[in-house]
Amino acid sequence: MNLKEAFQAQNTINHLLSRICDFLEDEDNVTEVKERHLRSKVRSEEQDEEIEIPETRLYDFAPNTMIAIWQKLMVEKEKLGHAISETKRSLDFDFDAAVDENKCRREFCSNLRKLASLKGKSDRLRGQGTGYVFNKDGNQTEYHYDVERIVTIDYDRNKVLSLMKKLQQEANAVSQKIDLALITATVDYEPIFDIDSDSGLIFEELAK
């Protein structure tokens, strides 16, 4: 399988491990319920009855089976993780670092794009200013006046645009390199189940 398929398999395994943990955390999935109806305690002529309450498990497997499946999946997780690491080491660049660095580039480009779109503006705030004067009687009185609010950008827009263009070009080049590695790099791993099946069918495969 290629690196992209390996990551998909890795995600599937992680999802299945999580589903098993959820299954085992739910008491309904790991307990059996019986009710003893003690009729004879009230009426001696009546007989007691034991009733098994139907199970309401998410998957039709006993807890021990799900635990065994988890162990199988954990072995596969370790094998696949090792195989992916070996493939990454064989590349001519640091795959994980490239992905992380490109994420930073694109996030920063989003910030720069917002800066590039900002424009200076001027607003008149009617009656928003307040002052005080003394009238002829010597009393302090309040008066109001207009305020002109002027907003200017505090950076060089051309430099922002230039840097954004440069980072976008770098990000696109690295993305092409990553995408090529995803489809051409081979991972030495053969899954023991169909990774495209739903959880229930995979559990059935692994329970055999």
Per-residue b/e over 56-84, b at no fewer than 16 CB within 10 Å? ebebebeeeebeebbeebeebbebbeebb
Which among 32, 33, 36 has a CA at the least distance from the CA of 47? 36
- pLDDT at res. 13: 97
Do 16 and 193 form a contact (C-beta atoms < 8 A)?
no
Cβ within 8 Å of residue 165, ≥6 positions away: none
Query: Considering the entire predicted model, what is its pTM?
Result: 0.76
| 24-41 pLDDT tens trace | 998 888 888 888 899 888
- pLDDT at res. 22: 92
- pLDDT at res. 39: 86
- pLDDT at res. 185: 98
Residue ranges for the chain with pLDDT beneath 70 = 56, 58
Phi, psi values for residue 47, rounded to 5°: -105, 145
Which among 116, 144, 148 has a CA at the least distance from the CA of 132? 144
Instruction: Give SS3 for 69.
Output: helix
- pLDDT at res. 28: 84
Locate the domains of the chain by residue range: 1-91+186-208
Distance of CA 150 to CAs 117, 122, 177, Å?
Answer: 17, 4, 46
